[in-house]
Structure 1
């Protein structure tokens, strides 16, 4: 009986913590806001990405790398898309250099895409099942770990790069886009 009560208490605590991460929050030090936006009717995840001007640089990068053709068919996919501010924080000239090198840009971007549809509700389920932690695999086979840090959802890649989710649920017919506030650089080979 005591074990059952403890298990129920633990599940409730995880649910409350997971619910808090998805409330609209504002971090005054970084001036970012976590929101949930649903875009219905986008033909695909690339269209969903195009539906929000805060992700125009990510959209341009997807097109420059030639990933748009792949992401428009098949799926479902989830793109953890860096916002424009994340791209502007790259060192001077780095974005231009990447845009001129589709192979390097493609490698970088594949680390932000997973197979499967992981909207806000799906992420909550995965975190609850994993007791506050979930692991996904990017389309290039690398692990991507989701954890709660305080009341925010954080992604960490294999090289230790991390970013926080700032936008949920831009829906396309073949997946979803969630916005993040950083760029997850791949491990150096």
Structure 2
């Protein structure tokens, strides 16, 4: 009986924590006209995104990730097939010099980027379900066979690769016809 009470309490805590994680990443609205127009434009772009690359292009805060996808020549792969989930690093995740350096080595860049693209659709709803099923942890597989571990770090969703590199999810559900883009605040670097 103690185990069932403990299990029920643990599940309740997990649900409350997961709700807080996802509530924190929901953007707040401001009253300025410019911000309202930008949100409306971004929403229209997301709704009309024909593929996951289009979804990535719909948010200017992830333009470096889009540039990297194109430089690594992954855009043609990501425009077909799927579903895919891209955990896209925010523009602030790397310095402009590092982005330029990586863009000059498409093979290395492709290796790094493939570690951010997951087979399957993992939007906010699917991630919550996976965390609940895994009692606070879930694993997903990238398009090149790597494992990413999703877990709660305090009240935030954290993604960690096999090399121990981690980032937190800061944006959910930029939707394309063949997948979803979730924004992260870092780059998941492979082992050196």
Global fold match (TM > 0.5): yes
Deviation of residue 63 (structure 1)?
Answer: 0.4
SS at match of 2:23: coil
Question: Aligned residue for 2:124?
Answer: 120
Q: Distance in 1 between matches of 2:190 and 2:70?
A: 19
Deviation of residue 58 (structure 1)?
Answer: 0.4
Question: Aligned residue for 2:74?
Answer: 67
* Mapping of residues 107-186 of structure 1, within 5 Å: 107-186=111-190
Question: Aligned residue for 1:28?
Answer: none
Question: Aligned residue for 1:10?
Answer: 10
Q: Distance in 2 between matches of 1:3 and 1:107?
A: 45
Deviation of residue 100 (structure 1)?
Answer: 1.1
Deviation of residue 13 (structure 1)?
Answer: 1.4
> Which portions of structure 1, spanning 4 or more consecutive aligned residues, are displaced by more than 4 angstroms?
none
Q: Distance in 1 between matches of 2:6 and 2:99?
A: 50
- Given that residues 64 and 99 in structure 2 are in contact (C-alpha distance below 8 angstroms), is that contact kept between their aligned partners in structure 1? no
Deviation of residue 2 (structure 1)?
Answer: 4.3
Which of 50, 60, 63 in structure 2 is aligned with 1:56?
A: 63
Question: Aligned residue for 1:20?
Answer: 20
Q: Distance in 2 between matches of 1:86 and 1:45?
A: 20
SS at match of 1:156: strand
Which structure 2 residue ranges, 5 or more long, are not aligned? 28-41
Deviation of residue 41 (structure 1)?
Answer: 2.6
Which of 98, 103, 106 in structure 2 is aligned with 1:102?
A: 106
SS at match of 1:22: helix
Q: How many residues align?
A: 176
Q: How does the TM-score come out when normalised to structure 2?
A: 0.87
Which structure 1 residue ranges, 5 or more long, are not aligned? 25-33
Q: Distance in 2 between matches of 1:137 and 1:109?
A: 13
Question: Aligned residue for 1:40?
Answer: 47
| RCO comparison, higher one (Cα < 8 Å, 6+) | 1
Question: Which has more strand, going by share of residues?
Answer: 1
Q: Distance in 1 between matches of 2:158 and 2:3?
A: 31
